[in-house]
Amino acid sequence: MAFYLLRKTIKDLPGVVIKAVTLPEPEMTEGFGSREKVGEICAAAGYKSVLLVTDTTLYGLGFYKKVADSLEAQGIKCTVFSDIASEPTVDIIEAGKEAAAGCGADCIVALGGGSVMDSCKIIAAAAREPHHHVQHYLHKFAIVKGKTLPLITIPSTAGTGAECTVGAVVKNAEGVKSSTVVVGLDVVHVILDSELTVGAPRSVTVWCAIDALSHGLEGLLADVKPNEEDIKKSRECVKLVFENLPVLLDDPHNIEARQKMFLAANYGGNAINTQLAGYVHAFAHSVGALYHIPHGKAIAHCMIPVVEEQKEICRKQLAELSAYCGFADGADEQAASDTFISKLKELLAQCGLEDRCEAIKEEDYKQLVQMIDADSINYSPSKTFSDGEIRRLLDMIRKGE
Ligand SMILES: [Fe+2]
pLDDT at 86 over 90: no
How many angstroms does the Cα of residue 214 sit away from the middle of ligand 1? 7
How many angstroms does the Cα of residue 215 sit away from the middle of ligand 1? 6
How many angstroms does the Cα of residue 146 sit away from the middle of ligand 1? 29
DSSP class of 31 = S
How many angstroms does the Cα of residue 248 sit away from the middle of ligand 1? 20
How many angstroms does the Cα of residue 142 sit away from the middle of ligand 1? 21
Cβ contact 171:177 at 8 Å: yes
Give pLDDT, residue 10: 85
pTM comes to 0.95
How many angstroms does the Cα of residue 235 sit away from the middle of ligand 1? 16
How many angstroms does the Cα of residue 341 sit away from the middle of ligand 1? 19
**pLDDT single digits (tens) 66-81:** 999 999 999 999 999 9
Distance between alpha carbon 383 and the CA centroid of its chain, in Å? Answer: 22
State how far the alpha carbon of 104 is from the alpha carbons of 63, 109, 149, 207, in Å. Answer: 24, 14, 11, 38
Amino acid at 59: Y
pLDDT at 330 over 70: no
**pLDDT single digits (tens) 95-146:** 999 999 999 999 999 999 999 999 999 999 999 988 999 998 998 899 888 9
DSSP class of 380 = -
